[in-house]
Chain A
Amino acid sequence: DVKVTQSSRYLVKRTGEKVFLECVQDMDHENMFWYRQDPGLGLRLIYFSYDVKMKEKGDIPEGYSVSREKKERFSLILESASTNQTSMYLCASRGTAKGYTFGSGTRLTVV
């Protein structure tokens, strides 16, 4: 089975800090995605990548950037964390035939 691993389950960061959320998948998938999930708002796409060094903005990219230097790793960066970025962050990868495989999520709290 495909495994998507997010480096942290819980993070607490201070306002203004630079935050890195890491995601690694082990099945050579081309496409990787970062979502945030907030109560009542569902899954909102932040950024996605369809190949190494390729990235596209999703629906809510403001305040975020991403990096994909290797196929298996897709990083989400909060350049200067703010309290409104407190959320559950979900990474997903996708091959050609099936839907997403999600990681376990990172619950980020910005104080």
Chain B
Amino acid sequence: GESVGLHLPTLSVQEGDNSIINCAYSNSASDYFIWYKQESGKGPQFIIDIRSNMDKRQGQRVTVLLNKTVKHLSLQIAATQPGDSAVYFCAENPGGGTSYGKLTFGQGTILTVHP
């Protein structure tokens, strides 16, 4: 198997398919979650967020689902396009008053969309 930290999970889809990217988070006290998209050579860009008092939030072509029971977050992209090809990673806000706004990031998933 692959060594943790050396290889990112990958997802390959055909243009027009729906994509689902998953993330397991670590802190049951986390109160806010974000998905970021990072294209090659660029900084990460905000896609969508969700607070812990919600289990689903929809944006334009994207939906985030939160399952606090199993500490799982997913990003669904509808009708995936070649321009969606990027690394996607989740982030959690640990909550509480001492984090100074620091987020904890997942390792990321590489999404490749084939025309």
Check: B112 CB closer than 8 A to any chain A CB.
no
Tell me the complex Cα distance, A55–B114, Å. Answer: 44
Q: Which of B43, B89, B93 contacts A103 (CB 8 A)?
A: B43
- How does the 8 Å CB contact mask read for B99-110 relative to A, with 1 for contact and 0 for none? 011110111100
Tell me the complex Cα distance, A94–B106, Å. Answer: 18
Are B8 and A94 in contact, CB atoms less than 8 angstroms apart?
no
Query: Which residues A71-86 have CB closer than 8 A to chain B?
Result: none
A94's nearest neighbour on chain B, judged by CB, is B101
Residues of B within 8 Å of A, CB-based: how many?
A: 25
A41's nearest neighbour on chain B, judged by CB, is B5
Are B49 and A42 in contact, CB atoms less than 8 angstroms apart?
no
Are A40 and B49 in contact, CB atoms less than 8 angstroms apart?
no
Chain A residues near B49 (CB, 8 Å)? 98-99
Q: Is the interface of A mostly helix, strand, loop or mixed?
A: strand
A contact residues, range: 20 to 34
A41 CB, nearest partner CB in chain B, Å? 6
- How does the 8 Å CB contact mask read for A83-111 relative to B, with 1 for contact and 0 for none? 00000001000100011111111010000
What are the 5 tightest A-B residue pairs by CB atom distance, in nearest-first order? A31-B101, A102-B43, A99-B34, A50-B100, A94-B101
| 8 sample A-B contacts, Cβ–Cβ < 8 Å, listed by A number | A33-B102, A42-B105, A45-B102, A48-B101, A99-B34, A99-B91, A101-B46, A104-B43
